[in-house]
Amino acid sequence: MSDWLTPILWIGGIGTACGAALALAARYLSVEEDPRIERIANELPGANCGGCGFAGCADYAKAMVTADTAATLCPVCNSESSAKIAALLGRSVEVSERKVAVIRCGGNDSEALRRFAYNGIADCAAAAATGGGDKTCTYGCLGYGSCVRVCPFHAIAVADGLATVDPRVCIGCGKCIPACPRGIITLAPAAASLHVLCSSKDKGPVVKKACGVGCIGCTLCVKLSDGAISMEGFLARVDYSKPLTQDVLVEKCPGHCIQKIG
Amino acid sequence: MKTFPSPFCFSGGIHPAYNKDLTCGEAIRRLSCPAQLVISLSQHLGAPAVPCVKAGDIVSGGQRLADAAGMISAPIHAPTSGKVVRIEPAPTPLGRPAPAILFEPDGRDVWESTLDPLADWQTHDPRALAERVGAAGVVGMGGAGFPTQVKLSPPADKPIDTLIINGAECEPYLTGDHRLMVEQAATLWEGAAIIRHILGAKTVRVAIEDNKPDAIRAMETALPTTLADAAVCVLKTSYPQGSEKQQIFSVTGRVVPAGGLPMDVGCVVENVGTTLAVWDAVVNGRPLIWRTITVSGDAVTAPANFLAPIGTPFAALVEACGGAKGRIAKIVAGGPMMGFAQAALDVAMTKTSSGLLLLSAARVPGYTSQPCIACGRCLDACPMRLMPAELSQRIEADDIDGAEQTFVMDCFECGSCAFVCPAHRPLVQHMRRAKAVIIARRRAAPKKS
């Protein structure tokens, strides 16, 4: 009889002892965690994009509860989940403005000239380090997709040698900004539809030679935009804190670089 | 013993098609000054020079145009008399535009010497001579452009016993140094004697690859009997025999430690062109304003070696060769292995421009890069005994730290690995990218006090 009963008793005994130890550990060694952390983490998108500056959604949720971090850092949350998180934290509802990435270049392969045939690593930083990049314009998008590869939401695509952001998909996490060796990606409010799609700091004649879509520094848009566009050297820049609704600029811009997106 | 074969040879290396017969028989021709010179302010390793002239200034030949900016930098002088048109960014052979002095020679070639000729250099203090070399704007003319004064002033705890004059010229196509050795052998020995005097070295070796028998003969014949412990060391023809660390091993058997300098093993290596520039600066008091450049390739009508003023636009050099032949598929500044591809001929030559190659489509095969097949040929070829296959895969996966631990910083971008790679992987480009990231990180990191 002991052939089969002894092992059963042994195994059963060990199981009971371990169960008892676990039960005691759960009773006396448990760590109190604020239940709100888990509930807030459930409200966050869970993409772990890092756009808030924390090491993922759970880390940010913990920071909000324990370190009193602002609840508006997540660029992905819609207003509904923001409201839920604010309610869980017992704070007033702060709705952040949704932002999207804008690539400030309009020079695709039919507009911007290339100086030479680049046959190296398909990476923008590597291309930019080769003779200063193959595009004649030393400021514009190189189109080798370094931003595409870092986007966690597949919101960027390269077509015809130019990267463009789909504003419907982009959540404005800003991961693409440091990936661009030319530094031409910026975050703009999703509501803003007019953008200056040029980053060239060169003078007008140089820009005109290099690209069909380029700011030539004529300052026409500054006069027509009611202060929303200002000049930075020879380059027009939009101040997104001011309203810019003059759609007529798209037709008026002689460099064809003011365009409507979205 | 006037000549002896090198007792050692570095491991690895390759044997590319040298194509030196296009120009090795062409005597160096002095190019007349072109209508406009573009004199770049960063022609050397280190900080760009600071201009000390302004637009509209009339200067004479030999006058200083820009001062050295700090320890690792070099001044720049006017090759002839003329007018400074303006100072603006211009393309450089290295790719990125840098500020340059646009200079219009007046054709009169009025000369103003800032340094006195010193025929009796033996009686002068080595330190003063080294300073003179620095004031003459002499930099390493083999390609890197390291300021020569720094090389000639080793710290007291690093005594130099061997001076190697680098006449290997292992890059295909280039024959400028070869011609200098054939044509100016006696002057070269005197230049070597001056550098030896400055360094206080005992031994002088002129290292020449065995594919230049006429240069070996010329140097051997011209060796003055008064010069003790000097000899020609004949190297086996193998690329990159002209690289400093490889050459030190081939000639002396000493191994420069990783991250170290030749002075750590008691050696200094000076290029043939640099040696002649030192001679010119000391004996004639002339700054570095001209250099030899080989214009070659199968898309050049008449390939030639020139002595051209620094700042000569590449287009003027091609014109002096009778223009281009057929369609140019690739323009390379320097040699084909370590040179830099150019987008156009609007670039001007600098103190480090050893060659200009125009190649036709037949010489520039198109290829697509493929994944590594782990054949290991790059490991055999690497003269630094690195593992290019492993390194490139780490860099591709963005593991820059891993690449640093696998000694990517020891890579000097000779291109041997990419030359032998059957999968046509852009190995050198990977190394360059990783090195750039690591250098940027080290610059950003707080310095240890």
Characterize the bridge pairing of strands B98-105 and B340-342: unpaired
**CB-side exposure of B331: number of CA atoms within 13 Å?**
21
Q: Are A140 and A107 in contact (CB under 8 A)?
A: yes
Tokens linked to B160: 């130099």
In this structure, how many other beta carbons lie within 10 angstroms of the beta carbon of residue A181? 17
- pLDDT less than 70: residues of chain A: 1, 93-96
Q: Are A217 and A234 in contact (CB under 8 A)?
A: yes
Give the residue from B266, B232, B158, B149 showing the smallest Cα distance to B198. Answer: B149
Q: Are A195 and A174 in contact (CB under 8 A)?
A: no
d(CA B292, CA B317): 12
Q: Is A172 exposed, middle or buried (0-12, 13-18, 19+ CB in 10 A)?
A: buried
Does residue B27 surpass a pLDDT of 90? Answer: yes
The predicted structure's pLDDT at residue B254: 95
Q: What's the complex ipTM? A: 0.78
Tokens linked to A126: 């590597």
Q: Do A126 and B341 touch (CB under 8 A)?
A: no
Interface probe with A: pick from B433, B438, B441, most Cβ of A within 10 Å: B433
Interface of B with A (CB under 8 A): 91, 95-97, 340-344, 366-367, 369, 426, 429-430, 432-433, 436
Characterize the bridge pairing of strands B64-67 and B82-90: unpaired
Provide CB contacts within 8 A for B256, sequence distance 6+. Answer: B244, B245, B248, B249, B262, B264, B265, B267
In this structure, how many other beta carbons lie within 10 angstroms of the beta carbon of residue B15? 9
The predicted structure's pLDDT at residue B449: 47
Give the residue from B432, B132, B197, B184 showing the smallest Cα distance to A130. Answer: B432
Q: Are B167 and B208 in contact (CB under 8 A)?
A: yes
DSSP secondary structure code for residue A152 in this structure: T
In this structure, how many other beta carbons lie within 10 angstroms of the beta carbon of residue B122? 9
CATH number, domain B3-25+116-284: 3.40.50.11540
The predicted structure's pLDDT at residue A17: 97
**Domain map of chain A by residue range?**
35-89, 99-260
Give the model confidence (pLDDT) of B414-444 as tens digits: 999 999 999 999 999 999 999 999 998 998 8
Backbone dihedral angles phi then psi of residue A86, each to the nearest 5 degrees: -60, -40
Give the residue from B73, B89, B152 showing the smallest Cα distance to B351. Answer: B73
Give the model confidence (pLDDT) of B265-276 as tens digits: 999 999 999 999
Provide CB contacts within 8 A for A73, sequence distance 6+. Answer: A51, A52, A53, A54, A60
DSSP secondary structure code for residue B283 in this structure: I
Give the model confidence (pLDDT) of B38-70 as tens digits: 999 999 888 899 999 999 999 999 999 999 988
The predicted structure's pLDDT at residue A93: 67
Placement of tokens 């050198």 in the chain = B428
Contact status of A129 with chain B (Cβ, < 8 Å)? yes
Q: Are B302 and B321 in contact (CB under 8 A)?
A: yes
Give the C-alpha distances (Å, rounded to integers) separating B410 from A218, B121, B379, B426.
50, 38, 14, 18
Q: Which chain A residues touch B343 with a CB distance below 8 Å?
A: 115-116, 131, 134
Distance to chain B for A215, nearest Cα, Å:
21
* Side chain identity at residue A180, one-letter code: C
In this structure, how many other beta carbons lie within 10 angstroms of the beta carbon of residue A110? 10
- CATH class given for the domain over A35-89: mainly alpha
Give first-to-last CA distance, chain B, whole Å.
Answer: 50
| Domain with residues A99-260, CATH architecture | 2-Layer Sandwich (3.30)
Q: Do A123 and B96 touch (CB under 8 A)?
A: no
- Which of A24-38, B105-119, B391-405 is most confident? B391-405
In this structure, how many other beta carbons lie within 10 angstroms of the beta carbon of residue B315? 16
Give the model confidence (pLDDT) of A126-172 as tens digits: 898 888 888 989 899 999 999 999 998 899 999 999 999 999 888 88
**Domain map of chain B by residue range?**
3-25+116-284, 377-444
The predicted structure's pLDDT at residue A226: 83
The predicted structure's pLDDT at residue B26: 92
Give first-to-last CA distance, chain A, whole Å.
Answer: 80
Characterize the bridge pairing of strands B162-167 and B267-271: parallel
Q: Do B95 and A130 touch (CB under 8 A)?
A: yes
